[in-house]
Structure 1
Amino acid sequence: MFESMHSSLRAARLATFAYFALNGFLIGIWVVHIPVVERRVGIGHPTLGWLLLLLGAGAFVGMRLVGPLADRFGARIVVPVSAALCAGAVVLPGLSVSVWTLGVSLLALGFGNGCLDVAMNAHAVQVEHGYQRSVMSAFHATYSLGGVLAALVGARTLSWGWSPATALGMVALLGLVVAALGVPALLRPEKPHSAVGFEQGTRRATPRRIWLLAGLALLLMLCEGVANDWSALHLRDVLSAPAATAALAYGAFATAMTVGRLVADRVATRFGPVAILRYGAGVGALGLMTAALSPWIPLALVGWTVFGAGLSGCVPQLFSAAGHADRNAAGANVARVAGLGYLGVLAGPAIIGPLTHLAPLNIVLLLPVVFCVVAAGAANVLRPQPSSAAIPTAQSDAVDGRGALRS
Structure 2
Amino acid sequence: MRDRTAVFAVFALNGAALGSWAPRTPAIAAQVHAVPGVFGLALLGASVGMLCAAPVSGRITERVGARAAVAGSTVVAAAALAFVGFAPNVALLACALFVLGAGVGSLDVSMNIAAVAVERRSGRAVMPTLHAGFSFGALAGSLLAGLAAGHGWPPARHLSVAAVLALAVLLAVLKDVPGDRPPKETAAPERGRAPIRRPALWLLAAVALCSAIAEGASSDWSALLMVTAHGVGQGAAALAYSGFSLAMAVARLGGAWCQQRFGATRSLAVGAGIAAIGLICAAVFTPAGFAYVGFALAGAGLAFAFPLALSLAGDAGRRVDGGGGERELAFVSTVAYSGFLAGPPMIGGIAQATSYSVSFVVVGAIAALIVPAALVAARARRREAVEAAV
TM-score by length of 2: 0.77
Q: Which one of the candidate residues 100, 110, 128 is aligned to 1:119?
A: 110
Q: Which one of the candidate residues 31, 44, 51 is aligned to 2:42?
A: 51
- Separation in 2, partners of 1:233, 1:169: 23
Residue in structure 2 matched with residue 405 of structure 1 by the alignment: none
- Separation in 2, partners of 1:378, 1:128: 25
Q: Compared with structure 1, are the counterparts of its residues 307 and 179 closer, same or farther at alpha carbon in structure 2 (3 Å cutoff)?
A: closer
Which residue type is aligned with residue 275 of structure 2?
G
CA RMSD of superposed structures (Å): 3.9
**Which runs of 5 or more structure 2 residues have no equivalent in the other structure?**
386-390
Q: CA deviation at 1:226?
A: 3.8
Within-5 A mapping of 1:349-368: 349-352=344-347, 354-355=349-350, 367-368=362-363
Q: CA deviation at 1:143?
A: 1.6
Residue in structure 2 matched with residue 207 of structure 1 by the alignment: 198
Q: Which one of the candidate residues 232, 243, 246 is aligned to 2:232?
A: 243
Q: Classify the secondary structure of the residue corresponding to 1:243.
A: coil
- Separation in 2, partners of 1:264, 1:204: 26
Q: Which one of the candidate residues 279, 301, 319 is aligned to 2:270?
A: 279
Residue in structure 2 matched with residue 331 of structure 1 by the alignment: 326
**Which runs of 5 or more structure 1 residues have no equivalent in the other structure?**
1-9, 389-407
Residue 186 (str. 1) matches residue 177 (str. 2): yes
Structure 1, 108-117 or 136-145: larger mean CA deviation: 136-145
Which residue type is aligned with residue 59 of structure 2?
P
- Separation in 2, partners of 1:112, 1:150: 17
Which residue type is aligned with residue 373 of structure 2?
A
- Separation in 1, partners of 2:356, 2:145: 32
Residue in structure 2 matched with residue 79 of structure 1 by the alignment: 70
8 Å CA contact 2:142–2:242 kept in 1: the answer is no
- Separation in 1, partners of 2:359, 2:155: 37
Q: Classify the secondary structure of the residue corresponding to 1:112.
A: helix
- Separation in 1, partners of 2:287, 2:39: 34
Residue in structure 1 matched with residue 388 of structure 2 by the alignment: none
Identity between Structure 1 and Structure 2 (%): 33
- Separation in 2, partners of 1:279, 1:138: 18
Q: Compared with structure 1, are the counterparts of its residues 55 and 268 closer, same or farther at alpha carbon in structure 2 (3 Å cutoff)?
A: same
8 Å CA contact 1:119–1:331 kept in 2: the answer is no
- Separation in 2, partners of 1:293, 1:159: 27
Residue in structure 1 matched with residue 374 of structure 2 by the alignment: 379
Which residue type is aligned with residue 256 of structure 1?
A
Q: CA deviation at 1:124?
A: 1.0
TM-score by length of 1: 0.74
Structure 1, 69-78 or 101-110: larger mean CA deviation: 101-110
Q: Which one of the candidate residues 194, 217, 220 is aligned to 2:208?
A: 217
Structure 1, 216-225 or 353-362: larger mean CA deviation: 353-362
Q: CA deviation at 1:313?
A: 1.4
Q: Which has the larger radius of gyration?
A: 1
- Separation in 1, partners of 2:24, 2:226: 25
